[in-house]
Amino acid sequence: MTDLVLERPSAADRFIATEAEYGARNYKPLDVVLTRGQGAYVWDVDGRRYLDGLAAYSAVNQGHCHPKILEAMVAQAGRLTLTSRAFRNDQLAPFYEELCTLTGSHLALPMNSGAEAVESALKVSRKWGYDVKGVAADQAEIIVCADNFHGRTLAIVGFSTDPGTYGGFGPFAPGFRIVPYGDAAALEAAITPNTVAFLVEPIQGEAGVVIPPDGYLQKARALCTRHNVILILDEIQTGLGRTGKLLAEEHDGIEADLTLVGKALGGGFYPISAVLSNKAVLGVLKPGEHGSTFGGNPLACAVARASLKVLVEEGMIDNAAEVGARLMGNLQAAVGDRVKQVRGRGLMIAVELHPDAGGARAVCEALRERGLLCKETHDHTIRIAPPLVITGTEADWIADQFDQVL
Ligand SMILES: *Cc1c(COP(=O)(O)O)cnc(C)c1O
């Protein structure tokens, strides 16, 4: 008898090989092939269950396949899905009303992806600068922060400070200035009479959950008000409950002039984003000056309405605050002395390893073996951002897995 065993590729291996053969290689995912999700859990094609510690970069705050969002989506999909904005539909008005009421906004502009919301905010800020502030034609300047992440379109990557993000994609649009994040004095120094807007993340997510110094956002708010500059908060990742408040700006008691939401606005089902604003800023747009074929479509609006509803009605925002605090406390107690830092707010948490600790990717691979899916950001930081529906017991289990792996 021979011991020769012909290794048959697993279902996962075949999917991975086919992806590699036909797909652009712009991602380096963990080699787990998922086929099903429910709440905080996902299952791979070989039947293994995992707790989702990333929640699709906070696009699945409401948990996978939430039954009420599913119901709204299926019902709307059988009724009317797309009209374009050439005609009206009966989901857009209630979506506007509910979103603006919930967030205290005066006007909303619906788009699809987060990057489109950012681009829209940049466009409208320039328009406001020329029409309202009186900046001379083509002179508008927008200030952004080092280590920002606002998406992947050309204008946006043009003001990234990460060579991996902008390298090889120039030339880029002019009109942007970059200042250090968390430094109000640098912001003030960069403001000129041509400055129309300051674009900033309340917490820098992709940079590794970087929380600015206390008082920074309040100072930025005051500077923008004093110099007649639009404060744009990119809450695409921090918004909609992630940090334990509906919007992260609430932690600082401020209000932006433009607030960008996306990701969890679609409950993980459908891409929808929005620019929220006071009347003065979005009000400068006239018919024909901006648009999107799919923006504000009835399917997106129905999904977003249900996504906001369950977020609020099912107490997910408070849960993020409570369970997030418990998870942070447990992580600090369990691994605090073995890592450089555990930091976060609500369920937006990062564990930063010591630079010589062997890398975050290896830790993510080991966590995956234990049934927890997390993703590294940069080489030494692991983000923990599960759906906002996890329980205290599940949070304890997450901290335990980090304890075991580290
Ligand atoms: C994800 C993200 C974006 C871009 O959103 P896409 O839907 O991927 O275009 C923009 N800003 C922040 C802060 C994000 O986290």
> Mind listing the pLDDT tens digit for each residue in 97-117?
999 999 999 999 999 999 999
Please state, in angstroms and rounded to a whole number, the distance separating the CA atoms of residues 1 and 135: 85
Q: How many domains does the chain have?
A: 2
Alpha-carbon distance values, 249 to 215, 218, 233, 234 (Å): 11, 9, 8, 10
Ligand 1 binding pocket includes 150 (Cβ within 6 Å): yes
DSSP letters spanning 274-305: EEEE-HHHHTT--TTSS--SSTT-HHHHHHHH
Q: What is the pLDDT confidence band of residue 6, given thresholds at 50, 70 and 90?
A: low
Q: What is the pLDDT of residue 301?
A: 98
Q: What is the pLDDT confidence band of residue 3, given thresholds at 50, 70 and 90?
A: low
| Ligand 1 atom with least separation from CA of 118 | 10
Q: What is the pLDDT of residue 305?
A: 98
Q: What is the pLDDT of residue 110?
A: 98
Region of poorest pLDDT, from 183-192, 350-359, 390-399: 350-359
Q: Classify residue 5: in a domain, yes or no.
A: no
Q: Classify residue 121: in a domain, yes or no.
A: yes
Q: Residue 201 is part of a domain; what is its CATH number?
A: 3.40.640.10
Q: Which of 147, 162, 234, 236 to mutate for ligand 1's pocket (most ligand atoms within 8 Å of CB)?
A: 236
Where do we find the tokens 């993510």?
A: 364
- 221 C-alpha to center of ligand 1: Å? 22
Q: Which residues are catalytic?
A: 149, 234, 263
Ligand 1 binding pocket includes 113 (Cβ within 6 Å): yes
The pTM assigned to this predicted structure is 0.97
- 114 C-alpha to center of ligand 1: Å? 5
Q: Is the pLDDT of residue 4 over 90?
A: no
Average pLDDT, the chain: 96
Say if CB 151 and CB 162 are below 8 A apart.
Answer: no
| Residue 124, amino acid | V
Instruction: Based on the fold, state whether residues 246 and 106 are members of the same structural domain.
Output: yes
* 43 backbone dihedrals φ, ψ, rounded to 5°: -120, 140
Instruction: Based on the fold, state whether residues 366 and 306 are members of the same structural domain.
Output: no
Strand duo 273-277 + 107-111: pairing: antiparallel
Q: Classify residue 1: in a domain, yes or no.
A: no
The boundaries of the domain holding residue 113 are 67-313
Say if CB 99 and CB 117 are below 8 A apart.
Answer: no
DSSP letters spanning 134-167: -PPTT--EEEEETT----SSHHHHTT---HHHHT
Torsion sign over Cα 28, 33, 37, 41: negative
Alpha-carbon distance values, 120 to 24, 160, 305, 402 (Å): 27, 17, 21, 40
| Residue 65, amino acid | C
Q: What is the pLDDT of residue 5?
A: 60
Q: What is the pLDDT of residue 336?
A: 83
> If you average pLDDT over residues 295-305, what whole number do you get?
98
- Please state, as a whole number, how many other Cβ atoms lie within 10 Å of the Cβ of residue 289: 10
Burial of residue 17 (CB within 10 Å: 0-12, 13-18, 19+) is exposed
- 115 C-alpha to center of ligand 1: Å? 6
Please state, in angstroms and rounded to a whole number, the distance separating the CA atoms of residues 387 and 345: 14
Instruction: Based on the fold, state whether residues 46 and 86 are members of the same structural domain.
Output: no
Q: Is the pLDDT of residue 22 over 70?
A: yes
Convert the pLDDT of each residue in 31-81 to its tens digit.
999 999 999 999 999 999 999 999 999 999 999 999 999 999 999 999 999
| Domain end call among 259, 282, 313 | 313
Q: What is the pLDDT of residue 357?
A: 77
Two tokens at 306?
Answer: 């249900």
Convert the pLDDT of each residue in 365-374 to its tens digit.
999 999 999 9
Instruction: Based on the fold, state whether residues 173 and 287 are members of the same structural domain.
Output: yes
Q: Is the pLDDT of residue 387 over 60?
A: yes
- Please state, as a whole number, how many other Cβ atoms lie within 10 Å of the Cβ of residue 68: 15
